[in-house]
Amino acid sequence: MVDIHKVQRVMTDKEARALIGEDVPAKTITCNKPGIYVDAETLEPVFIYLPMPSKVAELRASVLNLKMTTTPRANGVSNVSRTFGMAPRKPVMRREACTATTMSTDQPDSHSVLVDLADVFTQMMSDLLPDATAANLETVNQVLPEWRMTDESLWTSGVVNRSSTLPYHLDRANFPTWSAMPVVRRGMRGGYLDIPEYNLVCACRDGYVSFFVGQQLVHGVTPMTPQAKDSYRYSIVYYALRGMKDCFTTAIEQKRAKATRSNREDNMAIDDSISVTEEEA
């Protein structure tokens, strides 16, 4: 039996959105009890926080083994992360086709563990909130099965964040569906998930998973302080990207990408030719 906790809304959606982009301050934990957190007035589920039922050791080993990417942020603090699952087209990065992320080929064993857990977390959601899960599946069914992590999964994609203090934000690129966020950590103080609209400051204990609609609820991560040289906090976020609904079959995507690359190379050749002519003139 899962406990139900009522939580009071403490600010409006508009007030919460006004915080977007701000760094999350240090806060005291208000959410440390496992269970389903529901809006005190509407009784609608807002947040789920439970221990993972299995595969904590496998998850820990897989993320500790990952080759990560460092991305500088405007505030001078770098974000260390790695994506997994599926990725949509992104022409500005010369990704002309929908494709699996590079982790699937660079580190297939770690990728396989993360993908398998998508089914574990989907089953957890189904057991806890069957109606919401069914509605989410109907939404995600806009995406072709080959662009989801598994046939039964609620999610297309994910990201692993290593010891990242993230400012308040919304997951704007996602469908308005529930995300899953397991955490593994050692020797790290802080790093709590903060959902200010409900004053939910979640402990994010080692081996626990949180579920919430990150596309609709403003959230961020409090500062963290390592207590040892080898301290870490990994959050692994599973989500459904809206952009994946525009993906065709793999064969069509590859054909389109080849044509796009060919056109770009032809245009580059024309530009080079014009430049040479202008220099000669």
Residue 277 predicted with pLDDT over 70: no
How many CB atoms are located within 10 Å of the residue 156 CB? 28
* 52 touches 208 (CB < 8 A): yes
Q: Do 92 and 131 belong together in one domain?
A: yes
Q: Do 189 and 218 belong together in one domain?
A: yes
Residues in the chain: 281
* 58 touches 26 (CB < 8 A): no
**Averaged over 114-133, what is the pLDDT?**
98
pLDDT at 258: 86
* 37 touches 198 (CB < 8 A): yes
pLDDT at 281: 47
Confidence tier at 135 by pLDDT (50, 70, 90): very high
Q: What is the pLDDT of residues 51-102, one digit of tens each?
A: 999 999 999 999 999 999 998 776 667 789 999 999 999 887 788 899 999 9
* pTM higher than 0.75: yes
Q: Do 42 and 141 belong together in one domain?
A: yes
Q: Do 199 and 268 belong together in one domain?
A: no
Place of tokens 């997951």: 171
Number of H helices, E strands in the chain: 6, 15
The fraction of the chain above a pLDDT of 70, given in percent, is 93
Q: Do 9 and 94 belong together in one domain?
A: yes
The residue segments making up the domain with residue 263 are: 249-281
Residue 93 per-residue DSSP state:
G
Angle at the Cα of 210 from the Cα atoms of 204 and 214, rounded to 5 degrees = 115
Residue 103 predicted with pLDDT over 50: yes
Q: What is the pLDDT of residues 174-231, one digit of tens each?
A: 999 999 999 999 999 999 999 999 999 999 999 999 999 999 999 999 999 999 999 9
**Averaged over 1-7, what is the pLDDT?**
96
Mean pLDDT of the chain, nearest integer: 92
**Domain containing residue 16: CATH number:** 3.60.130.30
Q: Do 215 and 276 belong together in one domain?
A: no
Residue 269 predicted with pLDDT over 60: no
Q: How far apart are CA 218 and CA 197, in angstroms?
A: 7
pLDDT at 256: 86
Place of tokens 């963290």: 224
Count how many domains the chain has: 2
Q: What is the pLDDT of residues 141-157, one digit of tens each?
A: 999 999 999 999 999 99
